[in-house]
Structure formats: C-alpha cells, structure tokens
Amino acid sequence: MTRRTFGWFAWPSVAVMSVLMVFPLVTTVFLSMTRIFLRDLSSREWIGFDNYTEILQDPDFWSAFRLTMLFVAIVVPAHVVLGFGLANLLDRVTRARGFYLAALLLPFIVTPVVSTLLVRDLFDRGGLLSWLWEVVTGDPFVIHAGNVKWVIILHGIWSITPFAVITFFAGMQTLPEERIEAADMDGAGFWAKQRFVVIPHLRSLIIFVLLITIMDAYRVFDSSFVFGQSVGKSAHALSVYSFNTALNAQIGRIGKGNAISVLMVIGIFVVLIPFLRKSYQEQIADR
C-alpha cells in the first residue's frame, strides 16, 4: 500500500478523532490557563499556570483526591473478587439462571442517581439499615461528613459488581468442561481448580474488567454528587469538585474547572500506563 492510499483510508477516522478528541483536549488545556467565568464568557485573561498552583494549594482538591483514590483502591479490587465469587455461584445454578442473572444485574441497570437515593434512604435516619444498626448498637445510623465516604464506596461496589459478574460468568461458559475434569483427576481441589484452571482462563477478561472499572471508578460522580447535597464537601470526589468549580458555584470558574480536568487526565494516565504496558508486553510474549 502506498502512503497515498494509506492516507485515503485513514483520513476519515483521523478527522473524526480530531473533532471528538484532539480538539476538546486542546481547548481544555487552553482554557485551563485562562481566567474565565461562566457568567461572562467574553472576558478571558491568560494566566499561565496560576489555576494549577491554586488547585494544588486548595484543601478541597486534596480532600476530593483522597476520596477518589480510596474509592478506586477499594471498589476495583473488591468488585473483582466479589464478581468472581458471584459468577462462580451463578455458574453452579442450573435452574432459573435467567432470574438470578437479572436480579444480579439490577444495580447496574438502575440509573446511578436513583440507586444512590435508594442507598441513602436505606442508611439514613428512618431507613431499614439505619434501624437495624440501632437495634444492634443502640444508636441509629446517620450519614455524616465522617462516614459518607464508606457509604459511597459501598454503593460503588454494589452498583459496579454486576459488570464483573456478567463478564466472568460469560467467560466461564467458554471453559472446556474437560479441563476441569482433568484437574479433578490430577488431584486439584476447589481452590487449586480456581487458581490453575478458572482464573488463567479468565485472565484476559479480568484485565479487561480492571481497566474499564479503574477508569469508571476514577470518575465517580453521581453518588458523590447526591451525597454532597446533604453532607457537603466531604462527599466530593474529583469530578464533582471539578463540576462544582466550573459550573455549579455562583461564579462558575471555568478556567479552574478545566485545570482540574487536565490534572485528572494526567492522573488516570499515570495510573493506567504501567498497566497497559504490562498487558501489552504479555500479549506480545504470548504470541
């Protein structure tokens, strides 16, 4: 193929990518270096890295950063383990599989805002779990600035786990029965079979689920936003912090909000690049 024909084939996707990705990214970076407000978009002032220094000195940023990191660090591994366990159970079910599958998928299907409200009503004063807590400890459970992050994390695990369940369950269906039986004959118990047969078979799916959910958990928004309405900043994750700064606050500091977004993009790259590199190298080695 000549360079010219290659160009003809490639230009439509290059054009689409430019419009959808490069242009917004460049605009974001540009805006992040200006002072510009939502109520008056016409006045714009170039201020270099001032927004960034301001953010890095803002305790609200660090609070949101810590919450986001904690969320990713707990939700991602927890839901992979839980998803694997549930997929295993589902794999054992022979009757009414569809029913269980649908029931497991429910948290994933419900609109995140709605599911957050559900969880809030369960945990907050007057809710069922709050009442149970009172039965056990004597005091009703109340969501406040100190414990809200755990409720957000719990909700995160609950709502994302079905994704891992259905992916792993689908993967298990492609595992040849013979391989399990061979492990049986070779002397493998339950855990050995998981370790040497099932998990290796699901390996690429596990990596896929990890990649997707790290990105997804990193931009957690809905639950953080909803809880933020009642308990304030301590419920804010990075994306809510960015949203509030740029669009929600009285002034609407678009420049600063964009700077937060740029920092988030850099952050996710830092998290994912070693990951991507490792799985790429393995793919090459396996070939």
Partner 1 sequence: MAEVRLDGLTKVYPNGFQAVTELSLELTDGEFLVLVGPSGCGKSTALRMIAGLEEITEGDLYVGDRRVNDVAPKDRDIAMVFQNYALYPQMTVEENIGFPLRLRKIKKAERKQVVAAAAEVLELTEQLDKKPANLSGGQRQRVAMGRAIVREPALFLMDEPLSNLDAKLRVQMRADIAGIQRNLGVTTFYVTHDQVEAMTMGDRVAVIKDGVLQQVAAPEDLYDTPDNVFVAAFIGSPSMNLYEAEIVARGSGFAVEMGANTLALDDSVIADRPGLRDYVDTALVVGIRPEDLEDGAVSRDHPADRQLDATIDIREALGAETLMHFALEATMVDSGDPDALDELGEEGASRCTGRFSAATRARPGDRIKVNVATENLHFFDRSTHLAVRT
**CB proximity list for 208: less than 8 A, separation 6 or greater:** 167
| Nearest distance, CB of residue 203 and partner 1, angstroms | 7
Residue with Cβ nearer partner 1 (128 or 182)? 182
Helices (H), ranges, the chain: 3-17, 23-32, 50-56, 59-92, 97-109, 112-123, 128-137, 148-173, 177-186, 190-193, 199-218, 222-231, 238-243, 254-286
Handedness of CA 236, 240, 241, 244 (dihedral sign): negative
CA–CA distance, 11 with 101 (Å, rounded to integer): 43
CB of 201 to partner 1, least distance (A): 8
Q: Which is nearer to partner 1, 77 or 189 (CB)?
A: 189
Q: Taking the complex as a whole, how short is the minimal distance between the CB of residue 192 and partner 1, in angstroms? A: 6
Contacts of 202 (CB under 8 A, 6+ apart): 84, 168, 171, 172
Q: Which residues bind partner 1 (CB under 8 A)?
A: 176, 178-179, 181-189, 192, 196-197, 200, 203
CB closer to partner 1, 206 vs 264: 206
Task: Closer to partner 1 by CB, 147 or 204: give it.
Answer: 204
| CA 154 – CA 169 distance, rounded (Å) | 22
Alpha carbon 182 to its chain's center: 38
Cβ 183 to partner 1 shortest distance, Å: 8
Least distance from C-beta 138 to partner 1, angstroms? 49
- Minimum Å gap between C-beta 280 and partner 1 is 18
Distance (Å, rounded) from C-alpha 49 to C-alpha 107?
A: 42
Q: Which is nearer to partner 1, 24 or 200 (CB)?
A: 200
Of 104 and 197, CB closest to partner 1? 197
Q: How far is the CB of 181 from partner 1 (least distance, A)?
A: 5
141 class by beta-carbon count within 10 Å (0-12 exposed, 13-18 middle, 19+ buried): buried
> And the tokens for 8?
């003809």
Q: Phi, psi at residue 268, to the nearest 5°?
A: -65, -35
Q: Which is nearer to partner 1, 129 or 188 (CB)?
A: 188
The minimum distance between CB 191 and partner 1, in angstroms, equals 11
Nearer to partner 1 (CB atom), residue 139 or residue 178: 178
